[in-house]
Amino acid sequence: MVNELQPLPTVQEIVTLALSIITSRTFLEIIVFPGFLNVMLGAAFLTWLERKVIARVQLRIGPLYAGMWGILQPIADGVKLMFKEMIFPERADAKLLMLCALGLMLLAAAPVVPIPFGDGLVIADMDVGLIYVFAVISLFPTVILLIGWGSNSKYSFLGALRSLFQQVAYEIPMWLSVLGIIMLTGTLNLAKIVEAQQKVWFVVPQILGFVVFFTAVLAELERTPFDLPEAEPELVMGWMTELTGVAFMVGFLAMYTKLYLMSALITALFLGGWSGPAILPQPVWFLLKTFLVASSVVIIRGSFPRVRVDILLRSAWTRLLLVAFANIFVTVGVIWLGLGGIWRI
């Protein structure tokens, strides 16, 4: 019996293999665009954009000194938070808090998977993409409730309870408001939904659905006028109160990641996704629209007061739900009259 030794792979072979993996399309899509780097940089950019826009609304200048127009401010903030001491309250569940902050980041970044940033520029082109996004969104209250409970602080717990009520209440009009689109296109695949909007964007025929969805997204993001979970004069910072240092940074970045990807979802569902005149490449159009949606969320924060908690819940269960149902019936009528043909995939 002859034992033939396999020749060891040479350094060159290993390098070529590594290079072929790194330059493969799948790897680049997951790590660079539209995956990891895109999400992280987009969220960091949004923290800067929010501070700049809100400063303009309030007649201030905003971040100025770090880099040109203060563009490097997110990096400075990140370094500052990383070197801060982590303080946990007595009898707080520190391990649970850290784990939940990381889980929140994971959940916030997960919706990027089925969102098409260009024609074919999507990590996983799944047929159940829209339901996948909603399933991920429905997991947020779990983690936020755990953070609020694990902090062993009244502010955190009250913030988490408010967040739970709000998110559970607004999830229902959110699901219902996209039913019109699903009925018109006959698909749950986000890439196909974008393709269906090449002639007319869904913001035109589905204007009611758009209004409901946008409002529900504001509530899901805990943004003004629905920022009761972190109402500063009452609850310090809501469920984030007891997060410090790196845990706070991760939780904070997770909320901006959620804002970024929810804006991207609105773009893909209602604003035609990557479609636009060919003077600019498709991903640029997509990012432009996404940051426009995010800026309008910020401008709303600068312009409106916070609503009362009873108004918040009543408007979700009575008004928004009614409008969402009205949208569904109108869409059914349009399809019944045979006018929905141009959006059918």
Lookup result for tokens 């997110």: 74
Burial class from Cβ neighbours inside 10 Å (0-12, 13-18, 19+) for residue 13 reads exposed
* 172 interacts with another protein by CB under 8 A: no
- Asked whether the beta carbons of 93 and 150 are under 8 A apart, the reply is yes
Can you tell me the distance from the alpha carbon of 156 to that of 20, in angstroms, rounded to the nearest whole number? 48
Q: Tell me which of 138, 244, 275, 295 binds another protein, using CB under 8 A.
A: 138
CB of 135 to another protein, least distance (A): 4
Considering only 5-13, 136-144, 294-302, 318-326, which stretch makes contact with another protein by CB under 8 A? Answer: 136-144
Count of residues that bind another protein according to CB under 8 A:
21
* 142 interacts with another protein by CB under 8 A: yes
74 versus 150: smaller Cβ distance to another protein: 150
Residues 88-127 binding another protein (CB under 8 A) are 126-127
* 139 interacts with another protein by CB under 8 A: yes
DSSP-assigned letters across all residues of 65-89: SSSGGGTTHHHHHHHHHHTSPP---
For residues 51-82, b (16+ Cβ closer than 10 Å) or e, as one string? Answer: bbbebeeeeeebbeeeeeebeebbeebbeebe
128 versus 280: smaller Cβ distance to another protein: 128
Q: Tell me which of 40, 76, 131, 292 binds another protein, using CB under 8 A.
A: 131
Can you tell me the distance from the alpha carbon of 260 to that of 71, in angstroms, rounded to the nearest whole number? 17
CB of 50 to another protein, least distance (A): 28
Can you tell me the distance from the alpha carbon of 164 to that of 208, in angstroms, rounded to the nearest whole number? 25
* 344 interacts with another protein by CB under 8 A: no
* 135 interacts with another protein by CB under 8 A: yes
- Asked whether the beta carbons of 173 and 314 are under 8 A apart, the reply is no
Considering only 140-148, 207-215, 234-242, 271-279, which stretch makes contact with another protein by CB under 8 A? Answer: 140-148
Cα–chain-centroid distance for residue 235?
24
121 versus 137: smaller Cβ distance to another protein: 137
- Asked whether the beta carbons of 169 and 215 are under 8 A apart, the reply is no
54 versus 131: smaller Cβ distance to another protein: 131
CB of 328 to another protein, least distance (A): 15
Binding site for another protein (CB under 8 A): 126-128, 131-132, 134-136, 138-139, 141-142, 145-146, 149, 157, 164, 168, 186-188
